[in-house]
Amino acid sequence: MQTRLIELLKNSVSSIVLDGETDYLIEKNRALNDFYPVFLSVLRHRPSLIDSLRNQLNPRLAEIFGTNLNLKQQFLEFSRGQAPADEIESILNRAIVPTLGFLESEAGSTDPEAIVHLLDQHMPDIQAALPEWAAALLAGLGVNATAGQTIHQAPELYEEVPEQKRSPWVPILIFIILALLLAFLFKACSDRNEEEVPVTQAAATEPAYLQVNTGSNGDLVTCQLYLNNPAYTDILQTEVKRIFNHPTGCGVNSASNYHSEFIDQDVIPTALKILKDVSNTNMTWMGEQIAIQSTNPADAQRVANQLRPLAKNMTITVQQDLDVQTVTPATTTAAQALAVINPDNIQALDVATALNLEAIHFESASSTVPEANQPILDQAAALIQRAPHVHLTIKGHTDAVGSNEANNLLSLRRAEAVRDYLVQRGVDPSQLQAVGYGQQQPMEPNATPEGQFQNRRIEFEVLNTETGVVRAVDDQGIVEKKAE
């Protein structure tokens, strides 16, 4: 499958352009997403613009629109949302050079012809990414966004038609085209202004939630994000991965019962930078509260003091010292094992190995996934979504209390609860199989409460669908056995 050029462009350029920005992040990210396909469409039809922009120290948006400054203003109005137009224009100006650099890298050449050839190959992707209103705007620039060809009937910006060849009807046709264009743009602006409040906002009952834990070296151990806002979720994920140099980022729950915004959310990227390299520290951002905990009270106080002048609408508290046992060695090990998995080369065995490093033990007679294990499952779900070839068997077990029949059913329900949790986090159900083994495979003798607790557990195995061989992980390492 051909790699999508626009997605690569967003991943490569947006993080560079938005680095250090704290205000109107959602609007600026959306404006960049609108800008890329429009800019590439213009470059495809004006190859000479590539060298012209490259040879300038600080190229500007105005040069892309030429003499049609009114169209530039229309573009900014469509893209800026609630942000000031001058801030959006500044961001787009800064995006021109890295966008050209990205295209040169992908084309393997600085030759405009090579870049145009690259754009030709990816025109379906570019056209699919264009906002609905962009076709009319590009038409004003002489670019047919639908057919991928120049509109010669549109007002020509760069060639003068000899006077003797013009029909007396041409001025009238031009006037009609421009009138229709302006009417379309006006209607689109009006429609956009009417769609402000998201439907999901009314249904939201839980505040947005972000929790970040650092390890002994100040690196990211776990991150949970509960937010019903895909655009800002993408921004935060990018920031977490970049700041902590973490390939997976946060486990995400985007259910509609969560709010779509944090209070003072523009401060969050700065807060993450403050938290980086602070060892064994927890930051929870929820509602109007930011809670800081650390094994070192001085570290927690320092982080809180740095945040107070920034998050002016939040109440920031330093809670009781963080007990290192609240982030257990097993949890830390499992999180670190997930963190080192290359997201571009995910192996099923690696995921199962990491998950089996953290014990999931249920309360007696319960099939509710323990809250303490949810961060690791969130991180695993983020990985598995990127690897459709990963297929896991989730094995549920019980202690020996109760009848064999009841325990068989309870163990299945526990496995199904874990499966359903991962599915709710976006994993394809076809990648997961839940199996219950009841009390048949105890880890410890059931004679003590401690042994019973150890036996109420979940284990993960990998099934190779081609060979039928199950790969499992236990205390002695990786073992192989026939599929059951």
User: Amino acid identity of 477?
Assistant: G
| b/e 333-352 (16+ beta carbons within 10 angstroms → b) | ebbebbbebeeeebebebbb
Q: Using DSSP bridges, classify how beta strands 220-226 and 360-361 pair: parallel, antiparallel or unpaired.
A: unpaired
Within this chain, do residues 283 and 348 fall inside the same structural domain, yes or no? no
Gap between the Cα atoms of 377 and 365, Å rounded: 21
Least confident of 116-120, 337-341, 363-367: 337-341
CATH (domain of 276): 3.40.1520.20
- List CB contacts of 412: < 8 A, sequence separation 6 or more: 396, 434, 435, 436
CATH (domain of 358): 3.30.1330.60
Structural domain of 284: 202-326
Within this chain, do residues 33 and 148 fall inside the same structural domain, yes or no? yes
Residue 382 inside a domain? The answer is yes
pLDDT tens digit sequence for 432-472: 999 999 999 998 888 888 888 888 999 988 865 444 444 44
Gap between the Cα atoms of 111 and 17, Å rounded: 24
Residue 332 inside a domain? The answer is no
Q: Which residues pair with 291 in a beta bridge?
A: 284, 317
Within this chain, do residues 317 and 352 fall inside the same structural domain, yes or no? no
Within this chain, do residues 15 and 61 fall inside the same structural domain, yes or no? yes
Residue 334 inside a domain? The answer is no
Cα dihedral 291, 242, 78, 122 sign: negative
Residue 331 inside a domain? The answer is no
Res. 36 pLDDT band, cuts 50 70 90: very high
Residue 335 inside a domain? The answer is no
DSSP class of 250? -
Domain count, the chain: 3
Rg (CA), the chain: 28
Within this chain, do residues 180 and 232 fall inside the same structural domain, yes or no? no
Residue 308 inside a domain? The answer is yes
Comparing 152 with 342, the larger pLDDT belongs to 342
pLDDT of 390 above 90? no
Q: Taking residues 335-363, report their average pLDDT.
A: 78
Within this chain, do residues 305 and 377 fall inside the same structural domain, yes or no? no
Residue 389 inside a domain? The answer is yes
How many of the other CB atoms lie within 10 Å of CB of 173?
11
Query: Among candidates 249, 346, 267, 364, which has minimal Cα distance to 307?
Result: 267
Q: Taking residues 372-380, report their average pLDDT.
A: 84
What's phi and psi for 434, nearest 5 deg?
A: -100, 130
Res. 196 pLDDT band, cuts 50 70 90: very low
Within this chain, do residues 176 and 216 fall inside the same structural domain, yes or no? no
Q: For the whole model, what pTM was predicted? A: 0.43
Q: Where are the beta strands (DSSP E) in 248-379?
A: 251-253, 281-286, 289-294, 315-318, 360-361
Res. 419 pLDDT band, cuts 50 70 90: very high
Within this chain, do residues 356 and 268 fall inside the same structural domain, yes or no? no
Residue 120, token pair as written in the block: 């030709």
